[in-house]
């Protein structure tokens, strides 16, 4: 039996790695992957706390988070493809206007 705090610390570490990725990398796709990492860290703590409290609601929430993540990836990657088509870069420092 693994204590709940182990899972929460692991989840916090994964979330922090995702935050570092978003803040440090300049490539839009890399920022997107770091966001996926953060979503997974939160999913892990949902399931761990759900098991700790003898409840399945956490797992149902993870199901919804995955559906939202799939929708987000589809739209986000479409935006990135569109950006690279129009501006020939996906460096977020160079993408600083809303329309062109």
Partner 1 sequence: MTLFFFLLIAIVTVISAILVIVLRNPIHSALSLVLTFFSIAGLYILLNAQFIAAIQVIVYAGAIMVLFLFVIMLLNLEKEKRVSEKHPLQKAFGVSIALFLLGGIGSIVATGVLYGNMGTETAAKVSAVGNTKAIAGLLFTDWVLPFEITSILLIAAIVGAIVLTKKEL
Binding residues for partner 1, per CB under 8 A? 1-2, 4-10, 12-21, 23-27, 29-30, 32-34, 36-37, 40, 43-44, 47-51, 53-57, 59-60, 62-64, 66-75, 77-82, 84, 89-91, 93
| HSE-CB for 78 with a 13 A CA cutoff | 6
Spacing of C-alpha 56 from chain mean position:
22
Contacts of 100 (CB under 8 A, 6+ apart): 86, 87
Q: State the nearest-atom distance from the C-beta of 92 to partner 1, in Å.
A: 10
Q: State the nearest-atom distance from the C-beta of 97 to partner 1, in Å.
A: 17
């Amino acid at each position: 039996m693994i204590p709940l705090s182990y899972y929460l610390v692991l989840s916090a570490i994964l979330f922090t790695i995702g935050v570092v990725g978003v803040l440090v990398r300049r490539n839009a796709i890399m920022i997107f992957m770091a966001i996926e990492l953060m979503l997974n860290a939160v999913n892990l703590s949902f399931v761990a706390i759900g098991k700790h409290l003898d409840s399945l609601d956490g797992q149902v929430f993870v199901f919804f988070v995955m559906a939202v993540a799939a929708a987000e990836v589809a739209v986000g990657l479409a935006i990135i493809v569109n950006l690279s088509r129009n501006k020939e870069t996906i460096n977020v420092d160079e993408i600083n206007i809303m329309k062109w």
